């Protein structure tokens, strides 16, 4: 689907600054749709910045439906090219740089649609028209609706005077208040002129039961620094106010400007008490989880120390080697839990784990056989349920390279540990890659390589069996082991490549 930005680039001659202005408007105009109880369209001449009344085509750059009223346009009009004869009031507004109104009939069964077109300008240049679509009047609007429409008209003046949207305003967050959450209108002195029922309810929760109209919030005991700053700076301000420890209200203060003078403030407010309570519960739960990881790490370190102590008491041989290998594997898992005990959430900075694993591997290198370790790339943060098995896999592969890569193979069933290839420094390289959908870990060495006919599925090595089971069963990934000379005859050693798909837990944002 073509984005509004792509439409503007393809169909109009907006420059970068003007395009940014349009994008800011499209990021904040949900408020305008709710204030007007109407559908909104953003329409521009196809040929670009022109006020030529003979312009015969218009393009719809954006469409917004209100959250507090029924839509009058069921179709998605974004990207539609329309003849000016279909929207004569829009053409007149663009030609005269003035608001225009009229009616259009898109569906004879639905009746006429009331259309109001308002010019959108930036630095004195006409960019487009904001088109308000509403059902033909059939009833007398109430006080709330009349007040909201009056506020919309003040924003329409700001659109024509290039003072809205604000240059520094960012797209509102999901938590930011909306018109339906509550609205307070103040004058230029900060005195309340109107408060919607939802706003009044939120203020009641803060313990404010006095009559609001004509008073400043500070006179009623409510901190109003955000309103004061918005009026003084002519810029929007978002601030959270806590009346009591158990009541929180989020304020979005938007100055209303006319002829370069601040004439009032539109304050959107939302009671976020329940949201903050859940935040505190999540923080408490997160702290408890980190404490569990800390205790697991301590227990694993104790087990590791006991295994190491027991191994040292055994005579040289298979039993001692097995205990040392078990101790190393326990220590690898402890590293993950140590990092989980420090980091909030369920995402783990895996690069820290890699650093700790490499440091642990360096400690196991025999002085008579020097090795150099290199790490390139990064995985970033990965889910905790991926980090633990992947850390064990990486530790096994690095240790396997340390123990077996730099010896001469005498038989197909394994290496000879008696003959060291040479005492020159070998290199073990770890390459990490995360493309957002999968993780790739390459462990390479410049040692002796794999024996002829080697098959990872047939290997009886305990370490490789652990790697196979973790990668295929727990991580649902793939493992590839081959000699590097298969890619380049000049290369020596082995390549082990682990590929793990990442679970897509969150939708991709716009």
Within-domain flag for 169 = no
Interval 489-497 mean pLDDT: 88
Which two three-digit tokens encode residue 498? 């682990």
| The residue to which tokens 């974004």 are assigned | 78
- Using the 8-state DSSP alphabet, how is residue 438 labeled? E
Confidence of residue 342 (pLDDT cuts 50, 70, 90): confident
Within-domain flag for 61 = yes
Measured distance CA(465)–CA(454) in Å, rounded: 14
Across 90-99, 106-115, 325-334, which has the greatest mean pLDDT?
90-99
Q: CB atoms < 10 A from the CB of 445, how many?
A: 25
User: To the nearest whole number, what is the mean pLDDT of the chain?
Assistant: 84
Q: Which residues contact residue 313 at a Cβ distance below 8 angstroms, ignoring those fewer than 6 apart?
A: none
Confidence of residue 133 (pLDDT cuts 50, 70, 90): very high
Contact 373, 430 (CB under 8 A): yes
Range name among 113-127, 168-182, 241-255 with the lowest pLDDT average: 168-182
Interval 230-247 mean pLDDT: 86
- pLDDT value, residue 316: 87
Using DSSP's 3-state secondary structure scheme, residue 475 falls into coil
Q: Which residues contact residue 174 at a Cβ distance below 8 angstroms, ignoring those fewer than 6 apart?
A: none
- pLDDT value, residue 42: 96
Domain count, the chain: 4
pLDDT digits (tens, 9 = 90+) for 365-385: 765 667 889 999 999 988 888
Interval 128-146 mean pLDDT: 88
Helix axes 350-363, 384-404, angle to 10 degrees: 30
Q: CB atoms < 10 A from the CB of 96, how many?
A: 12
- Is 85 in the same domain as 64? yes
Measured distance CA(135)–CA(114) in Å, rounded: 6
Measured distance CA(165)–CA(120) in Å, rounded: 10
Q: According to the 3-state scheme, what is the secondary structure of 402-437?
A: HHHCCEEEEECCEEEEEEECCCCCEEEEEEEEECCC
Measured distance CA(140)–CA(143) in Å, rounded: 10
- End position of a domain, from candidates 271, 291, 312: 271
- Above pLDDT 70, what percent of the chain? 90
- pLDDT value, residue 345: 64
Which two three-digit tokens encode residue 45? 């001449």
Which two three-digit tokens encode residue 20? 């940014």
Which of these, 103, 14, 29, 108, lies nearest to 66 by C-alpha position? 29
- Is 129 in the same domain as 233? no
Contact 249, 200 (CB under 8 A): no
Within-domain flag for 174 = no
Q: Which residues of 171-200 are buried (b: 16+ CB within 10 A; e: fewer)?
A: ebeeebbbbebbbbbbbeebbbebbbebbe
- pLDDT value, residue 424: 57
- pLDDT value, residue 504: 61
- Is 366 in the same domain as 233? no
pLDDT digits (tens, 9 = 90+) for 274-303: 888 888 787 777 777 778 878 888 888 889
**Sign for the pseudo-dihedral over CA of 331, 335, 336, 338:** positive
- pLDDT value, residue 123: 92
Measured distance CA(21)–CA(127) in Å, rounded: 9
- Above pLDDT 90, what percent of the chain? 38
Within-domain flag for 185 = yes
Hey, which residues does 249 pair with through a beta bridge?
A: 241, 271
Within-domain flag for 166 = no
Using DSSP's 3-state secondary structure scheme, residue 477 falls into coil
Residue 170 in this model has a pLDDT that exceeds 70: no
Which of these, 281, 284, 251, lies nearest to 266 by C-alpha position? 251
pLDDT digits (tens, 9 = 90+) for 404-434: 877 643 333 444 444 444 445 789 999 999 9
- Is 485 in the same domain as 412? yes
> For position 89, which CATH number holds?
3.30.450.280
Measured distance CA(467)–CA(446) in Å, rounded: 21
- pLDDT value, residue 174: 60
- Is 335 in the same domain as 373? no
Residue 237 in this model has a pLDDT that exceeds 50: yes
Q: According to the 3-state scheme, what is the secondary structure of 447-465?
A: CCCCCCCCCCCCCCCHHHH
> For position 252, which CATH number holds?
3.30.450.20
**Sign for the pseudo-dihedral over CA of 8, 10, 16, 17:** negative
- End position of a domain, from candidates 271, 297, 318: 271
- pLDDT value, residue 413: 40
Using DSSP's 3-state secondary structure scheme, residue 166 falls into coil
Which of these, 187, 225, 181, lies nearest to 203 by C-alpha position? 181
Which residues constitute the domain of residue 35?
Answer: 4-160
Residue 213 in this model has a pLDDT that exceeds 70: yes
Which two three-digit tokens encode residue 434? 């995360």
Within-domain flag for 406 = yes
- Is 340 in the same domain as 367? no
- pLDDT value, residue 189: 93
- Is 337 in the same domain as 366? no
Within-domain flag for 55 = yes
- Is 293 in the same domain as 247? no
Which two three-digit tokens encode residue 205? 């929760």
Interval 98-106 mean pLDDT: 90
First to last CA, the chain: 12
Within-domain flag for 399 = yes
pLDDT digits (tens, 9 = 90+) for 187-200: 999 999 999 999 99
- pLDDT value, residue 410: 37
Contact 335, 357 (CB under 8 A): yes
- Using the 8-state DSSP alphabet, how is residue 425 labeled? P
- Is 429 in the same domain as 505? yes
Measured distance CA(449)–CA(446) in Å, rounded: 8
- pLDDT value, residue 47: 66
Q: How big is the chain by its Cα radius of gyration, in Å? A: 34
- Is 33 in the same domain as 116? yes
> For position 443, which CATH number holds?
3.30.565.10
Confidence of residue 506 (pLDDT cuts 50, 70, 90): very low
- Is 8 in the same domain as 123? yes
Interval 226-238 mean pLDDT: 92
- pLDDT value, residue 162: 94
- End position of a domain, from candidates 325, 345, 365: 345
- pLDDT value, residue 150: 97
- Is 429 in the same domain as 326? no
Q: Which residues contact residue 439 at a Cβ distance below 8 angstroms, ignoring those fewer than 6 apart?
A: 379, 382, 386, 390, 432, 433, 477, 498, 499, 500, 502
- Using the 8-state DSSP alphabet, how is residue 506 labeled? S
Measured distance CA(430)–CA(396) in Å, rounded: 13
Confidence of residue 441 (pLDDT cuts 50, 70, 90): very high
């Amino acid at each position: 689907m073509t984005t509004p930005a792509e439409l503007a680039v393809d169909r109009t001659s907006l420059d970068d600054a003007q395009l940014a202005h349009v994008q800011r408007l499209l990021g904040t105009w949900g408020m305008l749709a709710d204030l007007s109880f109407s559908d909104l369209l953003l329409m521009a001449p196809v040929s670009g910045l022109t006020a030529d009344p003979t312009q015969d085509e218009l393009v719809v750059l954006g469409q917004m439906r209100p959250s507090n009223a029924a839509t009058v346009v069921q179709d998605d009009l974004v990207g539609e090219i329309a003849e000016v004869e279909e929207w004569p009031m829009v053409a007149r507004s663009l030609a005269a740089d003035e608001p225009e109104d009229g009616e259009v009939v898109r569906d004879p069964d639905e009746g006429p649609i009331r259309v109001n077109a308002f010019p959108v300008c930036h630095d004195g240049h006409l960019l487009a028209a904001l088109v308000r679509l509403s059902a033909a009047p059939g009833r007398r609007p109430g006080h709330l609706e009349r007040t909201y429409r009056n506020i919309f008209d003040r924003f329409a003046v700001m659109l024509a005077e290039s003072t809205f949207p604000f240059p520094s305003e960012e797209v509102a967050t999901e938590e930011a208040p909306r018109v339906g959450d509550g609205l307070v209108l103040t004058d230029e002195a900060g005195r309340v002129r109107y408060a919607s029922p939802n706003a009044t309810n939120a203020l009641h929760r803060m313990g404010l039961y006095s009559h609001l109209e004509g008073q400043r919030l500070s006179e009623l005991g409510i901190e109003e620094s955000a309103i004061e700053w918005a009026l003084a700076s002519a810029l929007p301000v978002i601030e959270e106010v806590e009346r009591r420890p158990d009541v929180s209200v989020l304020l979005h203060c938007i100055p209303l400007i006319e002829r370069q003078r601040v004439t009032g403030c539109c304050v959107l407010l939302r009671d976020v008490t329940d949201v903050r309570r859940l935040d505190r519960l999540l923080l408490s739960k997160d702290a408890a989880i980190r404490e569990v990881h800390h205790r697991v790490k301590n227990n694993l370190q104790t087990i590791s120390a006991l295994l190491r102590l027991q191994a040292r008491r055994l005579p040289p041989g298979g039993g001692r080697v097995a205990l040392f290998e078990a101790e190393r594997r326990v220590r690898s898992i402890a590293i993950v839990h140590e990092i989980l005990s420090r980091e909030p959430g369920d995402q783990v900075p895996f690069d820290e784990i890699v650093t700790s694993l490499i440091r642990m591997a360096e400690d196991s290198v025999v002085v008579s056989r020097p090795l150099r370790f290199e790490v390139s790339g990064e995985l970033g943060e990965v889910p905790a349920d991926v980090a633990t098995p992947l850390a064990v896999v990486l530790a096994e592969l690095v240790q396997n390279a340390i123990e077996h890569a730099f010896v001469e193979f005498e038989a197909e069933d394994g290496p000879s540990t008696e003959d060291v290839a040479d005492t020159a420094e070998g290199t073990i390289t770890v390459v990490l890659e995360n493309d957002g959908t999968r993780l790739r870990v390459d462990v390479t060495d410049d040692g002796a390589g794999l024996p002829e006919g080697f098959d990872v599925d047939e290997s009886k090595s305990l370490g490789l069996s652990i790697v196979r089971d973790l990668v295929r069963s727990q991580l649902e990934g793939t493992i590839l082991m081959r000699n590097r000379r298969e890619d380049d005859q000049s290369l020596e050693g082995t390549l082990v490549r682990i590929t793990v798909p990442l679970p897509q837990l969150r939708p991709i944002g716009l």
